[in-house]
Amino acid sequence: MSQTVADTAETPVSLDRRFQDWIDAERKIEPRDWMPEAYRRTLIRQISQHAHSEIIGMQPEGNWITRAPSLRRKVALIAKVQDEAGHGLYLYSAAETLGASRDDMVADLLSGKAKYSSIFNYPTPSWADIGAIGWLVDGAAICNQVPLCRTSYGPYARAMVRVCKEESFHQRQGYEIMMALAQGTPEQKQMAQEALNRWWIPSLLMFGPPDDQSPNSAQSMKWKIKRHSNDDLRQRFVDMTVPQAEFLGLTLPDPDLKWNEERGHYDFGALPWDEFQAVLKGHGPCNRQRMAFRNKTFADGAWVREAASAYAEKQKARQAAAVKAA
């Protein structure tokens, strides 16, 4: 029988203190463990927003499935978009272990009450955008999510292990698209450059506000939900991506980007936080389109949910009859 948070202390100390000690010892919190209400709420918010982002994130790329330039590209893109649906489902399940209801989470997404990552409110006008998304957006997701494999809440951490393996396939398929375009005709290279110009800044915004404007960060770090600050992760992403852009022979659209010998990192220009806030509030180029499509898809899928429930009911009745007969 493994220990639980409530068993650890020999002298009477508050549950809050025992909880923090447990976390400081790098132990995982599991669904039945005692946890502060604020920890539970923070995780439900973060995991459900993460799930919503996976689901809405299927749209910008789904837009290109029917127009992928070859069968090979089409197969890879379908697999990738389908993976994102799977990520959403693991994450909704992880949030359910904290007592959140799937119906409520879905309702909050459909009504616009819940947030999802701002990045998915940008359009994908050319095939090169699919390359740029895989390379940059999935690349940024990897930077964010690899540390989440060690997050303090067990079900979230375990879900992230598989998610991260799939994300690295996504990142590589994106980079490979960019490589083919960058080594192609001058027009193709231009397409790749334009897509990079569109996605670079939104990718940096994905890491969230600067540390001094991110009010919940300190508490999340103390609870080891978060392992690195937004600014640290953003810097890591920039340092990782600059040589990849150089290898492609493409230019990152930032005149202030340069290696800083003293810091051992790349410096980069100020980011448009007003744009980030506007997109989060629903004023991005595609917010309305994304929500309208999600609502339509949910309504169109009603018959599938009804059929699945009817089937599950039938199975349950059959099992009950078999138990009775035995």
Q: Which residues bind Fe ion (CB under 5 A)?
A: 54, 84, 87, 138, 167, 170
For residue 269, give Cα distances in angstroms to 27, 191, 209, 235, 250.
Answer: 39, 24, 15, 12, 18
Q: How far is the CB of 174 from Fe ion (least distance, A)?
A: 9
Q: How far is the CB of 208 from Fe ion (least distance, A)?
A: 17
Q: Pick from 86, 186, 68: which is nearest to 131 by CA?
A: 68
Q: How far is the CB of 221 from Fe ion (least distance, A)?
A: 23
Pick between residue 165 and residue 258 the one whose CB is nearest to Fe ion: 165
Cross-strand pairs, 267: 258
Q: How far is the CB of 117 from Fe ion (least distance, A)?
A: 10
Q: Among positive and negative, which fits the CA dihedral 39, 45, 49, 51? A: positive
Pick between residue 53 and residue 230 the one whose CB is nearest to Fe ion: 53
Pick between residue 5 and residue 159 the one whose CB is nearest to Fe ion: 159
Q: How far is the CB of 205 from Fe ion (least distance, A)?
A: 17
Tell me the pairing of strands 258-260 and 265-267.
antiparallel
Q: How far is the CB of 286 from Fe ion (least distance, A)?
A: 18
Pick between residue 129 and residue 138 the one whose CB is nearest to Fe ion: 138
Q: How many CB atoms lie within 10 A of CB 249?
A: 12
Q: Is 153 helix (H, G, I), strand (E, B) or coil?
A: strand
Cα 129 versus chain centre, distance: 18
Pick between residue 50 and residue 224 the one whose CB is nearest to Fe ion: 50
Pick between residue 86 and residue 269 the one whose CB is nearest to Fe ion: 86
String of DSSP letters for 267-288 = E-PPP-HHHHHHIIIIISTTHH
Distance CA 304, CA 323 (A): 29
